Structure 1
Amino acid sequence: MTESRAGDLFQPGDLVNNTYRIEAILGRGGTSDVYRARSEISGRLAALKVLKAEFSSNDDYLVLLTREEEIRDIRHDAVVRYSENNRTADGHVYLVMDYVDGPGLDQKLKEGPMSAEELLTVCKRVSEGLEAAHARNIVHRDLSPDNIILRDDDPAQAVIIDFGIAKDTNPGAETIVGGEFAGKYAYAAPEQLSGKTDRRTDIYSLGALLLANFRGEKAQAGANLLEVVESKKKPLDTEGVPEPLKTVLDRMTAPSPDDRYQSAGEVLRALSSARLGGGEAAAKADTPDDLDDATVIMPRAKEPETETATPKPSAPPQPMRPISDPPAQSKSRGGLMAGLLVVVLAGAGVGGYVGGVFDGLLGPSYPVVQPYTLVADKREGLPPRIVGYVPSETARDALAAHVADHQGEVELTLASGDIADSWGADVESVVDAAIDLEEWRLSVTGNEARLTGRTTDKALHETISRLYEAGLPGGLQGTAEIELVPLFLAVDDVQTILDSMADCGALSLINPPTTGYGPGAAIQVEGTVAGQDSLTGLNAAVTALGGTRPVELDQVAVLNPAVCLIENFLPIAPPSDIDIAFRNGDRDNAPNPSGDFLVGENPVIDVELPDNVQAGYLSVAVLDVSGNVFHLLPNVSRPDNDITNIRNGNTGPMSIRVAYSIPESSEHGGLAFRVDESTLGKSKVIVLHSDQPLFTQMRPTTESAAGYAEALRDQDRNAATQILSLDSRILTTLKQ
């Protein structure tokens, strides 16, 4: 933890915007400082990135900070979550983000070398985060050890932070604005020195910082710019780095972008292949596991090493000749050749056949490749695809036939390798067994193979499970893992997703089927969320779980932050038969069932009590779009909220007006509202029914959302009060 200084903008104990209590300073940068703070409202920890005073009025820096906030569009645990930009009363601009508790890789660097296994884990996690960022065309451009934090000191929970120069098309200074490039020299890709960046730039930087953490020494690029430029032309020194980390780092940090992995997804597939193969051979695979970006490199012949001639197809067999006595000279030569053949066979044995020594005599000759890889898969809703190497035309044609029957794609190259004699037939039989699964994937490196898949067909699942319960067939060494997916999606599984995504009150399912959601059943959700980004994320999460099932979010309302703030502090209580009715005061209190009011209109609000609510206390408030709370009942001008007194002997259904028309307010008193352009958006009317008064003392007629949230906490509530019900309705104000 960095120690506070007298010159720091905020000191521990300071309260920022009546919300965030500063606890400590986490770090200082050239343009901004980062503080750890705790929300006085929710109690949650947050990190506040505060732009230094001299930059607060500079539009260039404000634009960058705003762009950094836009990273909130990325929904991934490996990318820090941003929430909002804000400005204090005296003009200081700050950005609120999740607080990640754990050491940065810069701190780990100071502590000494990290193990290769830990760094492979970090590489996988960070690559997953980069893949999510790159999918939205966001490039970090400044990856370095201090920009990756290990949550709880766990490499598997690495988090990318500080997107301060992300997406900035104007090449920034060493870390942000001005100068010649964005990034830190030690970890910057060569092309960054001339201001060129794309997703491959991040891949280079990640590889460079991982190498530094393996060495336990800060990367050195040069003492001056000229030395930096020259050093960036050379590959990084990975001598002594164990496999498979070495091969992965070599590819990630190739000086030319075209020689690197072309995407974070390719890095992930290389890591998967490396771990599958269990060593150096698998790590050196150039064929990507994912067929979306599959690139097959034509195999090169091993012999002769000094020649690069393209292998030619074997000559066609000569026609048979009748047996006759050859001339003596020819006979002697034939005997010599036969003798030599015996010697060769004795020395090379069967290995000569497998290695292709006699291909000229026994069949076609194919170049030798290492490692020998093949990937076949089928994704939901897409045709199957196969890419890689095969040892014979027979195997190639058999695999192609399987895929062709399902309108799939094939990219297979004939090659020789260190594989079992039955390799082609074994692979073809696995593809034949898996082809009818809804999703499946076969990954083969040499004789090592793994089949994964999923299906809703119980019989098919049992058949394949029995077929491969002892392992994959023939010379293939590996297992099959086929998941049986229920035909119906459990309601509880969907609700779990909704609970995890709720950031502005509860999210619930509309009429969920008791047996679960069938293949074509629509998943309907209702509730409120804190913004459009939250709605987008909710849609993505439910769609990912539901697969092809339609997702309907028409009943999910997007609310403003002030309303959502209160939602987090409202007591948990069931809804009731109490209703909220809207009327238009400018039209003789005509009903307004939509709850939509235009600028200049006068909303009237009635609380409709059913006949089964005869006693208790009503608390009615409006959470306004401007961040204020209006207490409609009780308030200083209308303190009595005892239902018995309000009913005054009326035992049937009863309407209680809590917001009046302008004429009614002028004549009899009571709160009245008129919509203006400063209060456009969604407000929320809340009705709480309790057995005792809700608060120990009268609340003011109007107060801030933060003040009301604090009042809802236990210290201001009557401890013995029981909340019987909570009902609410959205009121929307719109322009003409």
Structure 2
Amino acid sequence: MATSRPGDIFQPGDLLNNTYRVEAILGRGGTSEVYKARSEISGRVVALKALKSEFSMNDDYLALMTREEDMREVRHDAIVRYFDNQRMADGQVYLVMDYVDGPGLDQVMTSGPIPPDDVLRVAKCVAGGLVAAHERGIVHRDLSPDNIILRGGDPSDAVIIDFGIAKDTNPGAETIVGNEFAGKYAYAAPEQLSGGTDARSDLYSLGALLLAALRGAKPDMGRNPMEVVQKKAEPLDVSGIPEPMAGLIAKMSAPDPADRFQSARALLSALMTGQIADAPAGDDATVVTLPPKPAETGGGGRLWVPLVVVLALGGAGAGAWFSGLLDGVFTPSLPVAAPYTLVIDKPQDAAPSATGHVPSDTALAALAGLMGDQGGRADLELAQGEIAESWGDDIVALTDSISRLPEYRIDASGNTVRITGLTEDRALRDALESAALPGALTGTVQIELGPRLFPPDRIAPLLERFADCGALALVDPPLLGYGQTDTINIAGKLADVGARAQLRDAIAEMAGDRSISIDAELLNPALCQVETALPDAPSGGITTQFGFGDRPDINPTGRYFVGENPVIDIVLPAGVTDGFLWVSVLDVSGNVFHLLPNVNRPENDIAVLRDGVAGPVPVRVAYSVAEGDSPARLAFLVDDTTLGKSKILVLASDQDLFGGIRPTTESIASYTEALIAAQSSGAQVRSLDSAILTTAQK
């Protein structure tokens, strides 16, 4: 157990919802903390997984907690028992689950390699738990030694925990986070790096963690994403591992999912028997045994008795036949499946698989054929259940219609289906989502648009094409590409009002449903002209403060209406004590007004402007009309001739920039030439700061 800290979500002794008394903290993660608690009502000891407060109102993280709560329907000794989520009056959310008393497999590994017999016991337990989860359509996606607890320290009583995957950005956790992937580098399956996940991904992770347990150290997967991608394409090194574990681990962790065991049940069978090869495809299917044929006879007399018996049944027997009462005698009776489930999963760049129940040999053959056409396989069982008479034909038609998608999944429970998928073909997506489900099927269709991972370099040509006011740039592009839920952030400046929408549409055409944020300052063409000539200098922390000439109010927006009198102060921070200050207004009309220095106010030495005053010092450069009683004090009213955005440009330098005082007013073109010439002559700009002044009609 960990030691309690003042900043923890809960403290020992806290009573939650008048039910659970916190006893200790068990562990901390990037998004949650786990506590040991006891019910004040029943006395039962439980574990509580609490979301940190900054995530408790976030729908994405609440969905992950709900996903864990959904696991309460899965009953297996190797899976931690979940109960429900609860929210406190202050909004804090926590999940109640069984308390499993014992060390994590990762803790046991700190003492060195674990004996092969004990590792085999762990493997059997975990594989059994995966069978129970996978048959409910639930994939763990984050199997690792820290998610396996040995109850009472017994390898034969291993328990899987943490079925909800949170986005942990803690570098120490070595967790990759994307739309459909959250897993640890060392244990994640190769297909998870590109967002693909199915039951076979858990088998890879189990193989990797078993190898880690046998060696006492996790597999080396490199220290950066590029190394991880390269190493994941290679088989794990099982040299020195005794058989049958070496062969089992090699098959579980094959880089290609098609080369692994194709189900947890097949793996469990191999673990129990030591037989590594997959069982024939039909071994897991229900075997239907037909009644034996009547024995051949040499004379007609022996056929007379059964014939008389049939005739004696008369109308009652015929009625029983047609009503189905004799189906169990004359035809095979299929087992009842409740719930009646079927999962058809086609990950990206992998073969599809169909697992679950079908009502007839015809449906079984049709689905197996569809899977085979795409290089996949079907692991299906004949069964009866609460489904429509047309269910088999409906499912086959549905599968055939969405098989054009590069990635799809059908989760069927009875007559209800949930279809998810991915495509870059917008027309195909729209057609599938708008089409009615076949026959008696009901449910939802949600097809994502765009590649699973969208590389940032595909956007670069668009940024160059639409850049009309200096360069546009991606903000913090991800190394491996944008996931489906990631936002593409773009920053820069634009001159064309319609360019922002056009750029967004062009990116969306390639990137699909991803969010796009274009934080581009919209400037008029005149302002954009000077952007290309501005020096590449950092901010000096010099700020612009706007006010009003007729009242002491601050104007934080810098927005003025016709008839108002802007007052402008340039605030020098405490650290700016020497050098020279240059303040200009780049007007919307294409003119530049030099506020400091100018022919009427030539002094721009920062030390002189400070006049011995330490700390932040305001320097007024635009005055109220009442103060404008001398040519050195510029004052102006907003009129309706130059409405729009003007830019306040503040430069600081160690020396004279322009070789003399610029005229009070000049064109942006001539000012741009002067800036270029100053930099060509070697003049250095120490810092560049700016602000926008906007004028408008009321």
Q: Which TM-score tier does this pair reach, normalised by the shorter chain? A: 0.3 to 0.5
* TM-score, scaled to structure 2: 0.40
Q: Structure 1-normalised TM-score?
A: 0.38
